[in-house]
Chain A
Amino acid sequence: MRSGEKQITLLIIFLSVALIYIARLFYLQVIDTSYVYFAQNNVLQEQTIYPARGLIYDRNGELLVYNDAIYDLSVIPEQVKNLDTLAFCNVLNLTKEEFIATFARLRRQKGYSPWRPIVFQRQITIPTYAAFQEKLYDFQGFFVEVRTDRKYKHSNAAHVMGYIGEVSEKQIENSNGYYRMGDFVGQSGVERTYEKVLGGVKGTRYVLVDSKSRTQGRYKNGEFDTAALAGKNIHLTINLKLQQLGEALMKNKIGSIVAIEPSTGEVLSLVSSPTYDPNLLVGRERGNMYMQLLKDPYKPLFNRPISAPYPPGSIFKVIMSLMGQQEGVLTPATSYGCHGGYLFVGCHPHGSPLQLRGAIAVSCNAYFCQVYRSVVNNPKYKHVEDAYQKFYDHAYSFGMGHQLGIDLFGEGPGVLKKSTYFDKIYGRYRWQALTTISMGIGQGELGITPLQMANATAAIANKGYFITPHIVKKIDNKSNPNPSFNKKNWTSVDTGYFQVVIDGMQDVVEHGTAYIARIPNITVCGKTGTAQNPHGKDHSVFFAFAPKENPKIAIAVFVENAGFGATWAAPIASLMIEEYLTGKHETRKYLLDRMLNADLIKRNDSTSAKAK
């Protein structure tokens, strides 16, 4: 090879390398566009702007829930320099060991980067925040981030409002990527059902970050940013004053109160007792408090009024009276004698025989067993199953045995068995009214939630229809946010049959079992119930509406294992009605005090001890 050729050989090598590199560059820069995307991924960071959550008011505009600033202490570990650990621990009230342990925990966290801000301590108290702010200069690398959390102005209606908590993985999955780990959403109550309304819409801000995730500026001057949309405010149908009284009355008692405005289906009060202070479920102790409430044997987190099925007891007799008439097996003049009971169903002493109105007033067991028998063993139908189906349909039309569709999370269906259920137990055609006779007086295979009971009361007050109970009155100050809550749901009982029953309920209060529930100048119609149950003493039950003409409030009260309906449930309901209609308890101070002060939980304890 001559020297000239060697020179050319070298030149060819140079040129081939250049060409290979140019080809490679052409591939990287022109053909393969994925690198542009990777580069954007590198520098573009999507930051979420959290909207303010909507506020919640009661029906009269009284503020219930608002947002409170909370302070998170964050740290960029890389920037921590010359930290006076002792002073730092003093301000935060930490021991040195805790300090070290916290840092170790942070380091183990997924996605830890010493250049990225990370929360060192969540929700420091305001005094700590103040003390910290003073010495901020000494603690390089640490800073305080302000977020908002829910704050409850009153400690009432915890079960209605619910609480917010971090999203679960399932919720993240179902949200199509809207929710991110660590977001807070409503987990129960109105916070949950109206999450979309209250939660608003998150905004996004695109920022440029460097390789250590430090913000370097806005991406294209915020051209692609979206603003956060604040959540809308909600007005509940709840009347705060009524709710407060209800909770006070139910203090130291287990049970529920549901009050509904019959003409609109608006829930005026929804008391679940024992209740809890909703402020326990916010802030840094949220988790601990939640576990504590969960462990409480009286289950304060359990939303009794909408999910607990109780045997209705005697108040079901009212429903029986209505369906008997509709089925044509009962007239107001029908009279049955009471011989201290019916078969194995006992009865208390009262005048006999009685017509329908009187039977309601004294709550005669025998009478309603007869009514039940005549409905279910109705000769009009070939089989008992067909007649029972009528019973089922009527009860169903009053809202029993299924969810009413209230705008709260966790509503229970109650218990109302189909005929096939009894077929399974006794065999087809092998059972009849007497087999299930206790259902005639609201016992046996019946379970009804306080909400369903209040709703049925509203239906009676409306003489034949109810409006689905609901809890939200206004969204963003606009009334009637959900038009489906305007519809009248007609029961299967004609309007004409209601009058005698209502008269009977009036008698109950005027001179019947619930004399104690009488309110001066107001005609209250009600019915007591004393529901036998497998858990101990009878449940004290009462439902009522008032005033008789133009009813303004329908109410159902359940006090668990408290005894006669007339002893506890009736006075409580009566006081509630009085509160709502007059706002005063001048003539019945003694009754109010007695109800407020009664401690049935402890008393129950003593009776159960005696039983042992």
Chain B
Amino acid sequence: MVYWRIIRKSYRRNLQYRLSHLINNVASSIFGLVFIAIWMGVLRGKAVHGPYDAETMACYIAICQSVLWVTTFMSPGLNVQVGVRSGAVSLDMIKPVHYLWYTLSQEFGRLLYNACYRSLPIGLLLGLAVGFSFPSDPLAYLLFLLSLLLAAYVGMLLFYLVGISSFWTTEVRWLHLILLSLVFGFGGQMIPVDLMPGVLGQLAPFLPFAAMIYYPVMNWLELAPAYSIGVQLLWAVILTAVALAVTKQARRKLEIQGG
């Protein structure tokens, strides 16, 4: 299948950077350690209601740091804006594969690479620091995998939408930063979203940002609510529809500008 081939090519291309990334993982783990230390300070000597005792919270943050590399740390705009600026996008659009799936396959290859050379080492390092936590139920692994794939998919679509906005604007850098801060703020990387105060805590679990980080992590910890996969699926469907529609508009825009 052609998309699988694109994925494999993209994976291999990324292998070139392996060594420098493996070193960088140590620095990234320090970020994780800082977050864990903050939470230990917050929780020290306090009775916590709900599932978040100090030990669970440490694992939560550690798994978050690992999951981030598959669902959040993607290429800005999935590099769509690069093609738009150089004009290469017109060639990509006339390829016999759909532009959306083509772009997503490219990115997915990179994410597979990230999973092997970023997520695993970082998870290992942080696990050594705070202790490992494995699901007891074999079914949980399956749910986690499904949740992780959906998270990556939702993330890719959001990043894609930022990238394709470059058909109408000149600069996507700021839109990208806004998206990133929304994901960091409401995705659950700093704080499990259900712990947020007031309305925020009730709303955040149903935003697409929680679908990117919070749910896969909670599925690994076997703490996810039953509807978690449902929320992710719903966002996957909605965003797919939006992305397809926007891609169609972009294609039309391209045709108007013409050769």
Q: Are A and B subunits of one complex?
A: no
* B residues in contact (CB < 8 Å) with A: none
* A residues in contact (CB < 8 Å) with B: none
